[in-house]
Structure 1
Amino acid sequence: MDYLPVNRANWNARVPIHVGSDFYDVAGFKAGRNPLRPFELAEVGDVAGRRLAHLQCHFGLDTLSWARLGAEVTGLDFSDAAIAQARAIAAECGIPARFVTADVHDAVEALGRTYDIVYTGLGALVWLPDLTRWAETVAALLAPGGFLYLAEFHPFADIMDDATGTTVTYDYFDRGPHVWEEPHTYTGEGVLEHQTSVQFQHGLGEVVSAVAAAGLRVEFVHEHDRTYFQRFGTLVADGAEHRLPEGAPRIPLMYSLRASSDSGAPPAVDRATSSSAPTA
């Protein structure tokens, strides 16, 4: 299966559903709500006056939130429908931002500049088959002294049973590709016109190794015992966060990684092929 056009059709179909969903609450965003997670704000730090690229930005709410905090932002996504919505929301809110339609591995040519921060939000890496090329692209986008910040769902959680999150059910080392036929998105609203998607699983060691091999210095990898959706039936909501019940053994549900560019000469990127998909 040529997964890239399949995934693009799937994500283009998601856009109108997501824009109108309670999950994304676009009206709340327009009124000033910041959808960035508290740990992201703390770990990224002050972005005022810094150039930030958001890869796989979907329709840009996180991107525009960094702009509201003072960053000079560029969002990139392979979904033209998502980028059109991002531009429309930016214009309506009067937020200065640049949005570009391109595959993530074409980002160096598509964006044509380097950045102080490359940010990638939740649910991005599962759409990429080759993390080595992704990490090389990130390194090539970073200005000397800049850094990558990645927040992701923890791959360990994906091997546990969906009902309780207590029993190992799936193979941690099964990288895929995994083909899914799902009528609904994670927002639970609407029916997709294009229901097929292709996804790839990546272990934490694979992610860290790809980033290090691209010449970036890993500053930290933090594992978190909370997530932001009902990943398992037993999770307990605590505001926007979801955690395992009090007293239950905890497992990592999310992780965050920060890695810096200490060199002015990031590795060259082989762009013979390309592949990407967006995130929220």
Structure 2
Amino acid sequence: MNGEHVEIDWTAARDANRENWDDRVPLHAVSYGRESFDDPEHLSDVVRHDVPVLERFLPSRSLVGLDVCHLQCHIGTDTVSLARAGGRVTGVDFSAPALETARAFAEQHGIQAEWVETDVLDARAAVSGDFDVVYTSIGTICWLSDLDRWARQIHELLRPGGTFFIRDGHPALYAMDEDAPTLTARYRYFGDGTAQVWDDASTYSGGGSVSHTRTYEWPHSLAEILGVLLGAGLRIVHVDEGRTLPWRFSPRMVEVPGGYAWPEDQRDLLPCTYTIIARRD
């Protein structure tokens, strides 16, 4: 069944995914290395990578003092890191246990933050105010069926002149067979509106298992992602592709500084991530 495409109602798929992410919270609270944040200078690997790129395209060239909305924030390690980088942060997620964990984690480290429980596709209606930066990163939009609606939320959350940042797994990577001995395409690169169904008790980080194993994901090509952002009225100011990931997509990946990558002789054959920065004029 894993990777098969199915027709499913969005609400049912979202609820199944939320149950799965609820189950991940206590596992990730252990495996995310949160003890490293006892060092007040510590930032998550993801934010340490992303912020210097983002700041090059901010009018102020700095995140300090800016209002930042972090979409799909999970347990808040990246949100706290964005606050330590100088932002006034609001974290948004659909998992109540994740937000409870994020809130306690932020308070433990003296970080002031707002936390909003909502589906990201309803973020504009649920979140107060507007923002200088809307941020999302790594493992986010594959969970969404309707990217047009997603892009509209981003546009409406940004104030004029505001900046949107996303770094995520590359759709070409997601088309690969993670278990094949060579780089082999197995899954759809182009979406057709149907969901890929997965049944897996593990998570991408640490040990343990989840009780709700069924999840649904949607493939989105790079052209689709760029197109919905442009269609929502945003202006693309930066696009890049990367060779490393913050998690091990395939058992064949090797650990490198900052994450994981394909074996060296294959590293230039396939992108692992993309980064898009866009602005609301």
TM-score by length of 2: 0.88
Does the 8 Å CA contact 2:188/2:219 hold for their aligned counterparts?
Answer: no
Q: Which moved more, 1:189-198 or 1:168-177?
A: 168-177
Does the 8 Å CA contact 1:159/1:169 hold for their aligned counterparts?
Answer: yes
Q: Which moved more, 1:41-50 or 1:104-113?
A: 104-113
The equivalent of 1:42 in structure 2 is 52
Identity percentage of aligned residues: 36
Q: 2:230, 2:191 → 1: CA distance?
A: 22
**Segments of 4+ in structure 1 off by > 4 A?**
none
Matched, 1:258 2:277: yes
Deviations 1:47-96 (A, max 9, x none): 00000000110011101101011110000101000010011001111111
Q: 1:4, 1:233 → 2: CA distance?
A: 28
Deviations 1:159-187 (A, max 9, x none): 22213451222221244301211111111
Report how far residue 230 of structure 1 moved: 2.0
The equivalent of 2:247 in structure 1 is 229
Matched, 1:173 2:190: yes
SS at match of 1:247: helix
The equivalent of 2:18 in structure 1 is 8
Q: How does 1:99-110 map to 2 (within 5 A)?
A: 99-110=115-126
Deviations 1:2-59 (A, max 9, x none): 11211111111111111012xx111112334311434412211120000000011001
Q: Which moved more, 1:248-257 or 1:87-96?
A: 248-257
The equivalent of 1:31 in structure 2 is 39
Report how far residue 103 of structure 1 moved: 1.2
Q: 1:230, 1:165 → 2: CA distance?
A: 16
The match for 1:147 among 159, 163, 168 is: 163
The match for 1:207 among 225, 228, 236 is: 225
Q: 1:165, 1:28 → 2: CA distance?
A: 36
Does the 8 Å CA contact 1:36/1:65 hold for their aligned counterparts?
Answer: no
In structure 2, do the counterparts of structure 1 residues 89 and 165 end up closer, same or farther at CA, with 3 Å as the change threshold?
Answer: farther
Give the length in aligned residue pairs.
Answer: 260
Amino acid at match of 1:62: D
Q: 1:158, 1:257 → 2: CA distance?
A: 17
Q: 1:60, 1:147 → 2: CA distance?
A: 21
Report how far residue 221 of structure 1 moved: 1.2
Matched, 1:60 2:76: yes
Report how far residue 110 of structure 1 moved: 1.4
Report how far residue 234 of structure 1 moved: 2.9
Amino acid at match of 2:221: G
The equivalent of 2:108 in structure 1 is 92
In structure 2, do the counterparts of structure 1 residues 164 and 220 end up closer, same or farther at CA, with 3 Å as the change threshold?
Answer: farther
The equivalent of 1:72 in structure 2 is 88
Q: 1:164, 1:68 → 2: CA distance?
A: 41
SS at match of 1:156: helix
Does the 8 Å CA contact 2:68/2:90 hold for their aligned counterparts?
Answer: yes
Deviations 1:240-269 (A, max 9, x none): 32222233342100010000000xxxxxxx
In structure 2, do the counterparts of structure 1 residues 165 and 81 end up closer, same or farther at CA, with 3 Å as the change threshold?
Answer: farther
Does the 8 Å CA contact 2:191/2:221 hold for their aligned counterparts?
Answer: no
The equivalent of 2:3 in structure 1 is none
Matched, 1:216 2:234: yes
SS at match of 2:52: helix
Q: 1:96, 1:118 → 2: CA distance?
A: 18
Does the 8 Å CA contact 2:45/2:258 hold for their aligned counterparts?
Answer: no
Report how far residue 229 of structure 1 moved: 2.0
The equivalent of 1:268 in structure 2 is none
The equivalent of 2:261 in structure 1 is 243
Does the 8 Å CA contact 1:225/1:250 hold for their aligned counterparts?
Answer: no
TM-score by length of 1: 0.88
The equivalent of 1:276 in structure 2 is none
